[in-house]
Chain A
Amino acid sequence: MIIFHEVNKHYGKFHVLQNINLHIKQGEVVVIIGPSGSGKSTLVRCINRLETISSGELIVDNVKVHDKKTDINKLRRNIGMVFQHFHLYPHKTVLQNITLAPIKVLGIAKEEAERTAMYYLEKVGIPDKANSYPSSLSGGQQQRVAIARGLAMKPKIMLFDEPTSALDPETIGEVLDVMKKLAKEGMTMVVVTHEMGFAREVADRIVFIDQGKILEVSTPEEFFSNPKEERAKNFLNRILNH
């Protein structure tokens, strides 16, 4: 589904992603962890070409993302993305946030798009907020709307970049629950998170990245009980003991 082959990315002279090789299968949930500034966001953002790679090959859903001729808008229909700071459209209601892309990108009729939107709002547990504006919702509710907005495009892949890092502790759970449900239903997910409980429970594989390099790819059991890399051990110690 997602294949990184010898991918490198530079910001000017800075080598953010170094020789990335990673193969993510359909239906897999891959959690990416690593210290701040290690390149986690950059890695995820390359998948839908919010960032362009400098060399190597990146193939998503059988399409070459790195190829200039690729119709990126078409590819992006199949890839939902959830950001740390939600990025809901403040001038639109929850329902309008969710239906905009299905109507404008997929050309779906408004009524049908609204029905789909309501279906996903039920799924994330806030159908009663359909006509509210984002500013009147809590962080957890906003993030669930953002997830529903992504799902309404019926994507094949969902990308999450620290979806709970900007939330109050008491609302983190409600967002993680939605993500768990999604994982169980077989969605292909790439998740950057510091929620180790989530990673342990839901991930099929953990990717540990540091200074732009993938240092370890393993199952949660292996990774948490017996990390192979020294830096992964240190990272886990720091993050689990505070």
Chain B
Amino acid sequence: MLNFSILIDHWDMYIEGFFNTIKASVFAMIASLVAGTIIAIFRIAPFRPLNWLGTMYVEFIRNIPLMLIVFVFFFAPSALGLRINSFLAGTLGLTTYTAAFIAESIRAGIQAVPKGQMEAARSSGLTYVQTMWYIILPQAIKIVIPPLGNQFLNLVKNSSVLGVIAGLDLMYFGDLISSETFVTFDVYIFVAMFYLLLTIPLSLSVSFLERRLAKNR
């Protein structure tokens, strides 16, 4: 049987970690969605230097381990004599990393919108930006929601990387409780449960949205 007294005795720590994980995830979700959209538009805009920048970003970032990126955000400022708190460094690293994957999902979604849509809109006199905004993005969003949901799920789980730099998240407190109590299995099972509390509703709402979108097509 699981030792529930661990959960009860360390409830405050679990809850603090849980909320920090939520905070890091929500912040990184929003920021990486914004950054990822911009990078995706860079990649497809009819302007070569932007394409090049976007491609550089994606290819560079997604081919480096997440932990290394977090380390860069954590250690680079101190090498420059600046101080950065570990929570912020971890969240920025997470954002930087996830943005590359989100950019790829969004780019694929935009490119899945039939070419004729762009042609019809442009031939009616709409500008490139208007066409993107009124015609292409609304259709791309429907295509992009399932892969985006997966990226968000990965993001929540990847946020555990904060634990490595003492980022005060669930994983960090898990490690802490475990080193205090010398219990491993039970401590981490409770950690896993807290993660599931986030990921299962997220996963369910993505499937729900997916079904809704499939219906009104």
Q: Are B123 and A81 in contact (CB under 8 A)?
A: yes
Q: Which residues from A are CB-within-8-Å of B46?
A: none
Q: Which residues from A are CB-within-8-Å of B116?
A: 83, 85, 87
Inter-chain contact count A-B, CB under 8 Å?
Answer: 61
Q: Are A105 and B134 in contact (CB under 8 A)?
A: no
Q: Which residues from A are CB-within-8-Å of B114?
A: 87
- Among B189-217, those with CB < 8 Å from A are 217
Q: Are A76 and B123 in contact (CB under 8 A)?
A: yes
Q: Which of B52-60, B125-133, B177-185 contacts A (4 or more CB under 8 A)?
A: B125-133
Q: Are A76 and B125 in contact (CB under 8 A)?
A: yes
B135 to chain A: closest residue by CB: A89
- Among B111-157, those with CB < 8 Å from A are 114, 116-117, 119-127, 130, 134-135, 138-139, 142
Q: How far is the CA of A100 from the CA of B134 in the complex (A)?
A: 9
Whether A5 is near chain B, meaning CB under 8 Å from some CB there, is no
Q: Are B122 and A105 in contact (CB under 8 A)?
A: no
Whether A55 is near chain B, meaning CB under 8 Å from some CB there, is no
Q: How far is the CA of A76 from the CA of B130 in the complex (A)?
A: 14
Q: How far is the CA of A150 from the CA of B217 in the complex (A)?
A: 24
Q: Are B126 and A89 in contact (CB under 8 A)?
A: no
Q: Contact string, A61-96, partner B, CB cutoff 8 A, digits 1/0?
A: 000000000000110110111010101111100000
Q: How many residues of B contact A (CB 8 A)?
A: 19
In the complex with contacts A83-B116, A91-B138, A135-B217, A105-B126 CB distance below 8 A: yes
Q: Are B120 and A73 in contact (CB under 8 A)?
A: no
In the complex with contacts A50-B122, A81-B123, A104-B130, A87-B217 CB distance below 8 A: no
Q: What distance in Å separates the Cβ of A129 from its nearest Cβ neighbour in chain B?
A: 18
Q: Are A73 and B119 in contact (CB under 8 A)?
A: no
Q: Are B126 and A104 in contact (CB under 8 A)?
A: yes
Q: Are B125 and A73 in contact (CB under 8 A)?
A: yes
Q: What distance in Å separates the Cβ of A45 from its nearest Cβ neighbour in chain B?
A: 8
Q: Are A73 and B117 in contact (CB under 8 A)?
A: no
Q: Contact string, A133-165, partner B, CB cutoff 8 A, digits 1/0?
A: 001000000000010011001000000000000
Q: Which residues from B are CB-within-8-Å of A153?
A: 124-125
B123 to chain A: closest residue by CB: A81
Q: Are B126 and A73 in contact (CB under 8 A)?
A: yes
B115 to chain A: closest residue by CB: A87
Q: Are B124 and A87 in contact (CB under 8 A)?
A: no
Question: Most chain-B Cβ atoms within 10 A of its Cβ — which of A80, A91, A135, A149?
Answer: A91
Q: What distance in Å separates the Cβ of A137 from its nearest Cβ neighbour in chain B?
A: 15
In the complex with contacts A87-B114, A89-B135, A50-B123 CB distance below 8 A: yes
Question: Most chain-B Cβ atoms within 10 A of its Cβ — which of A74, A85, A101?
Answer: A101
Q: Are A76 and B122 in contact (CB under 8 A)?
A: yes
Residue in A50, A81, A101, A150 whose CB lies within 8 Å of B126: A101
B118 to chain A: closest residue by CB: A87
Whether A48 is near chain B, meaning CB under 8 Å from some CB there, is yes
With A74-B125, A80-B123, A83-B119 given, can you name 11 additional A-B contacts, CB distance below 8 Å?
A76-B123, A76-B124, A79-B123, A81-B120, A87-B114, A87-B120, A89-B120, A105-B125, A105-B126, A106-B125, A153-B124
List the interface of chain A (C-beta within 8 A of B): 48, 50, 73-74, 76-77, 79-81, 83, 85, 87-91, 100-101, 104-106, 135, 146, 149-150, 153
